[in-house]
Amino acid sequence: MTGAPEPPRDGDRGSLAIVLHAHQPFVRETGGTVTAAEERFFGIVTRCYVPLISALSALVADRVPVRLALSVSPPLLDLLSDRVVQQRYVRYLDRCLTDGGRTLGASREHPVLVGHPDDERDRLRDVRRAFVETWSCDLVNALRALERAGVVEALASAATHAYLPLLASDPRSIRAQLRVGLDQHRRHFGTSALGVWLPGAAYAPGVDEILAELDVRYSVLDARGLTRARPRPVMGVWSPVISPSGVAFFGRDPEAWAQVAGEHGYPADPDYLPTEMPRDLEEPCALPLGAPQGTPYSARRARAKLDAHANNFVACRESQIDALAAMMPRPPIVLAAYAAELFGARWLEGPAWLAATLRKIAYDQRSFTLTTPSEYLARHPLAQECRVAGSSAGHRGDQASRLGGENDWVYLPLHRAGLRMRALVRQNEDATGLRLRALNQAARELLLAQSGDWPLRMSKGVLVNDAVRRTRLHLARFARLARDLEDGSPDEAWLADVEARDNAFPALDYRSLG
């Protein structure tokens, strides 16, 4: 893969930074059957991650000057680089091919609108070829290549996508989540991340101090984190602010977000192929409705619409940046941040739209430059000092979607487990042998139980039984390990079994949770 040339920098009226955040919970299975959660994960790899990486690699091959920031959560990195998961995924693809490609992009509600089975089968074959032959089943390797090519600036994230405002009563748990997340990033990418994507773009007061302590330069927040900051930022969300501890915070541009991912965003156009919606997402999302009953899906019409929408997005950013630049004393930055799963999993044509948009930004306009947050900070290191506000990407910017009658039972056991883990670390500062293994596994189980996906799925009513099962399972495994460690010696055979099942973070040091 060759390095991408520098993007044009005419005028520098303003910049656009596209930030994608990819995350899936740790749904590794070793049994003989594919669970619903695992099947959902494989579906997203098929529709989103493989096409997205293919699209970006094609841009690099064509030497299109492209920059974007990409955060891949540690559980997703571990899943994508796991040999067992890779083998199970290939078997899943083979099964889909023998099923006639029904799984890909199909909609049970609108079976008549599904693309032609031959198209689906071709698409599946392309995915399988790219996965097995081009990337040797290792998508993390493909991501590393994109990073080395200068196309992608990789951001780190919390260890298991824990929702940090609901851990705020225990700052050491937040520190452990972020520290392990940064360690995992270094392990997979070989470099330290300059930026961190906070799960759910959720910020709680005090997180900036932990980020500064861990040497993180910047993070991205929902717009409300900046609009409600104290004092009010003089340049709105179109210039980063800096916290008293020295960490820069960018605000997600609401307009660019709504245009693509909002309830009435591009994917809602009836010319696009309807897909099954993953509903366990923080925000309301664009819903591909499909064409009116009886109108067949036309790939040609979808491609034309995709091109028009790419033009529209670029035109809107040009006019937006022109208007902002006229008011601001420095070039504005419009930060367009999306869940990566939007492109493909929720919007089948999404990866193609993104590639078309990136090409048009590179060649069809001169109003703004494509940049990444760290590049912008390097050019404009001075920022207004503000205390950013507690906020999230949730409906009203608060914790309402994460904390309610359906899931509030989770937080006390998690808090107690965090306290117990710290006591174990204090009592076993230099553990070796079996105790070391048990302590590391206890830390692993606690981090997995803290995943923010489980409470979110409970509140959204998506795969609730699985979410409850996994929360209880990780907490129960942690409790048993803690009891064994407190009372004497762990059961080695049982420990080995649990280590084989929950094998996330192989290099984890339990002292990180102390």
The residues in 480-509 that bind another protein, with binding defined as CB under 8 A, are 480, 482-483
- Give the interface segment with another protein, choosing from 51-59, 112-120, 133-141, 397-405 (CB under 8 A): 397-405
Q: Is 129 in the site for another protein (CB under 8 A)?
A: no
Q: Is the dihedral of CA 469, 475, 477, 483 positive or negative?
A: negative
Number of Cβ atoms within 10 Å of the Cβ of 385: 12
- In the complex with another protein, which residue's Cβ is closer, 122 or 385? 385
Q: Is 415 in the site for another protein (CB under 8 A)?
A: yes
From start to end of 278-373, where are the E strands? 333-339, 369-371
Kindly identify the residues of this chain, within the stretch 154-213, that bind another protein according to CB under 8 A.
Answer: 165-166, 168-169, 204-205, 212
Contacts of 509 (CB under 8 A, 6+ apart): 440, 443
In the stretch 463-482, what mask flags binding to another protein with x, by CB under 8 A?
-xxx-xx--xx-xx-xxx-x
- Which of 92, 135, 189, 257 contacts another protein by CB under 8 A? 257
Contacts of 430 (CB under 8 A, 6+ apart): none
- Which of 147, 276, 408, 509 contacts another protein by CB under 8 A? 408
Calpha distance 344→51 (Å, rounded): 7
- In the complex with another protein, which residue's Cβ is closer, 129 or 416? 416
Nearest approach, Cβ of 297 to another protein (angstroms)? 19
Indicate the angle between helix axes 492-501 and 433-449, nearest 10 degrees.
40
Q: Is 11 in the site for another protein (CB under 8 A)?
A: no
Calpha distance 209→212 (Å, rounded): 5
Report whether 121 contacts 100 (CB < 8 A).
Answer: yes
How many residues sit in the footprint of another protein (CB under 8 A)?
107
- Give the interface segment with another protein, choosing from 2-10, 279-287, 336-344, 428-436 (CB under 8 A): 279-287
Kindly identify the residues of this chain, within the stretch 313-342, that bind another protein according to CB under 8 A.
Answer: 315-316, 319, 324, 327-330
- In the complex with another protein, which residue's Cβ is closer, 114 or 286? 286
Kindly identify the residues of this chain, within the stretch 221-240, that bind another protein according to CB under 8 A.
Answer: 223-224, 226-238, 240
Q: Which amino acid does the sequence have at 40? A: R
3: buried, middle or exposed (CB in 10 Å: 19+, 13-18, 0-12)? exposed
- In the complex with another protein, which residue's Cβ is closer, 45 or 261? 261
Calpha distance 336→372 (Å, rounded): 11
What would the DSSP string read from start to end of 67-107? -EEEEE-HHHHHHHT-HHHHHHHHHHHHHHHHTTSTTSS--
- In the complex with another protein, which residue's Cβ is closer, 128 or 224? 224
Report whether 180 contacts 508 (CB < 8 A).
Answer: yes
- In the complex with another protein, which residue's Cβ is closer, 15 or 57? 15
Q: Is 381 in the site for another protein (CB under 8 A)?
A: yes
Nearest approach, Cβ of 379 to another protein (angstroms)? 10
Q: Is 277 in the site for another protein (CB under 8 A)?
A: no
Q: How many residues would you count in the chain?
A: 514
Kindly identify the residues of this chain, within the stretch 37-76, that bind another protein according to CB under 8 A.
Answer: none
Kindly identify the residues of this chain, within the stretch 421-450, that bind another protein according to CB under 8 A.
Answer: none
